[in-house]
Amino acid sequence: MKEDVLDVLIYLFENYMFDDGEHEPDQETLTMELSQAGFEHGTIDRAFEWLENLASQCEQEAPAARQGALRHYTAEESARLGAEAKGLLLNLEQCGVLDPASREMVITQFMALGADSTDIEHLKWVILMVLSNYSEGEGMSDLTESLVLDGLHTCAH
């Protein structure tokens, strides 16, 4: 049985995020499909709560944040994210993939997963999920997906 909330989120992202929109199953149908795929109900429920929280954040007006402002991480955030993840977030923000509001959503949503430490691939999936929901997906492009998933080596402004 699959136990990780992120596994459920990735399954939903891969199967429904870039769907043509003709088939939008309701939560009950999705729950049944996820159960048949081997996910436990508690994990499915937590994944839907995570998505609802993300949707709620995306609907709220983004807080005014100054460009170039430094992000100070709490001790818990710093411990769970680690240097590589914080570097990735900084690079994505400097390249314009993330703005301060979407960066905060990424951090909040990653922390909500409750992982003890960062798997950088997990963080990349969270970034893609946030961007696909943020501004109704306007932040997503093939370039964005490539930068996040394949790695950010250099980026030109």
Global pTM exceeds 0.85? no
Tens-digit pLDDT string for the chain (157 aa) = 345 888 998 888 888 766 555 667 888 999 999 999 899 999 999 999 999 998 888 777 555 555 556 778 899 998 889 899 999 898 888 888 888 888 989 999 999 988 777 788 888 888 888 888 876 655 565 556 666 666 545 454 4
Q: Compute the C-alpha angle 71/103/9, nearest 5°.
A: 140
Q: What are phi and psi of 38, to 5 degrees?
A: 110, 5
Give domain status of residue 86, yes or no: yes
Give domain status of residue 100, yes or no: yes
Give domain status of residue 156, yes or no: no
Domain of 116, in residue numbers = 5-63+71-150
- For the chain, the distance separating the N- and C-terminal CA atoms, rounded to the nearest angstrom, is 44
Cβ neighbours of 78 (radius 10 Å): 13
Report the number of distinct structural domains present in the chain.
1
Give domain status of residue 20, yes or no: yes
